[in-house]
Structure 1
């Protein structure tokens, strides 16, 4: 009987994780749809999700796992009730603040995740932020520098965990990684779009620093056609 209970609990835990992932993906798809409808001009190349705000979705995933764990596990439910009783003794009115605080925090996180994007158009970059939701337009001519390469470190017997980056410095000093693609208006891979933009920026005289270190390791995780597009950007000087 104990073995059956253990197996049952394990299955419930795995199913809750899978459900949390599915719901998180559904949330991200809805968020992307709304971003495209509200923040994107009709003619745009693609948009990027700015770090560290792009990782806020993990909070919702953990929140979902905790929520489902509460209803699926008697042990977790008992632990939560124990903590609640302790809080009620120390803070009699804490429940009033709990629900309101949770709603406020979630709304704030959704807003930060939603608004912190930058949109690439044919003419320049529209940079949105929490305090500037309408966005500021930066013409490509105004960019001051490009820094591109491949982050990461190759460890023996492990697949390469690095990634390509393409950072541009705006006139106000803000740095954007144009390789943090969040969504696109076409089915064309953003690396091909970025490769054409890279050539255009060099023609405009934007200074560029590039490193080909770790380039060969990308073949472990990417299709060769994408690696070739990245190599073209890293080796292009004019």
Structure 2
């Protein structure tokens, strides 16, 4: 008797573990599919890096919720029975309005997929192309359109799940129309180069152009907890790079030209 109970419990645990693994794998698969679609539709060959913009990028986790609900419904007998019992009730809302609800659900999910897929910004050597669900054709900016930079490292503050974590580096540029783009929300990088190397080069150019920059070393130590020194050194360079340094470099170049 005990052996039967043990086997039954083991089977339930085994099924739940397999379900969790399947959910994770399917979520990753959905994410990779979205990335592939974005690259195909929006990313040009001359890109340096492209951004999967926050917060739309986090909406992918809605599909994970769908998967959890689906697996729970399939494998949880009580939940399934509760659902079928509810459908048999005369006054059940879903049964009465399912012809309206199903098309609405499908339409909302098509819209959700569109919002997620179109949340892309492409960075090239000469321009920034910002896509969105309101602007699927993309808005082009040059680097003179960058009006400010805000960069640093997130600290111990509690963040909403799936947003930011302690030690995460951020580099947010604001464009002339008020749009803000965090260059660390990377979708892809050319030649598989780490994004901090590209951001360091872009930061150097923007500082030379005298773009106002706010940076803080306050939480830098947290980035060293999960990144190798080669990357944290680049982050330090970015955070310590200032307009004053940019002015010095420009003045030195001017002096050299005069000579």
TM-score by length of 1: 0.91
Deviating runs (4+, > 6 A) in structure 1? none
Q: Is the 8 A contact 1:13 1:69 kept in 2?
A: no
- The one of 56, 80, 84 aligned to 1:81: 84
User: Larger deviation: 208-217 or 82-91?
Assistant: 82-91
2:132 to 110, 114, 129: 129
Shift of 1:92: 4.8
Matching of residue 30 in structure 1 with residue 26 in structure 2:
no
Is 1:40 the counterpart of 2:43? The answer is yes
Q: Which residue of 166, 173, 179 corresponds with 1:174?
A: 179
Deviation at 1:55, TM superposition (A): 0.6
Tell me how far 1:2 sits from its aligned partner.
3.4
Report whether the alignment pairs 1:163 with 2:168. Answer: yes
Question: Number of residues paired by the alignment?
Answer: 234
For 2:151 and 2:171, the matched residues in 1 are separated by: 4
Q: Name the counterpart of 1:199.
A: 204
Give the whole-Å Cα distance in 2 for the aligned partners of 1:90 and 1:226.
55
1:63 match: 66
* Matched-pair contact (CA < 8 Å) for 1:87–1:94: no
Return the offset for 1:69.
1.8
**SS at structure 2 position matched to 1:144:** strand
Deviation of 1:89 (Å)? 3.7
Asked whether the equivalents of residues 144 and 171 of structure 1 are also in contact (C-alpha less than 8 Å), the reply is yes
What are the equivalent positions in structure 2 for 1:198-217 lying under 5 Å apart?
198-217=203-222
Query: Partner residue of 1:153?
Result: 156
Using the TM superposition, give the Cα deviation of residue 90 of structure 1 relative to its aligned residue in structure 2, in angstroms.
4.3
RMSD: 1.9
Give the match's secondary structure for 1:173.
coil
Q: Distance in 2 between matches of 1:43 and 1:152?
A: 35
Structure 2 counterpart of 1:221: 226
Q: CA deviation at 1:66?
A: 1.1
Deviation of 1:53 (Å)? 0.7
Q: Aligned partners of 1:87, 1:119: CA distance in 2, in Å?
A: 53
Partner SS for 1:16 = helix
In the alignment, does 2:237 pair up with 1:232?
A: yes
Q: 77, 80, 104: which one pairs with 2:107?
A: 104
2:142 to 113, 128, 139: 139
Q: Tell me the TM-score normalized by structure 2.
A: 0.84
Larger radius of gyration: 2
For residues 102 and 90 of structure 1, the distance between their equivalents in structure 2, rounded to whole angstroms, comes to 15
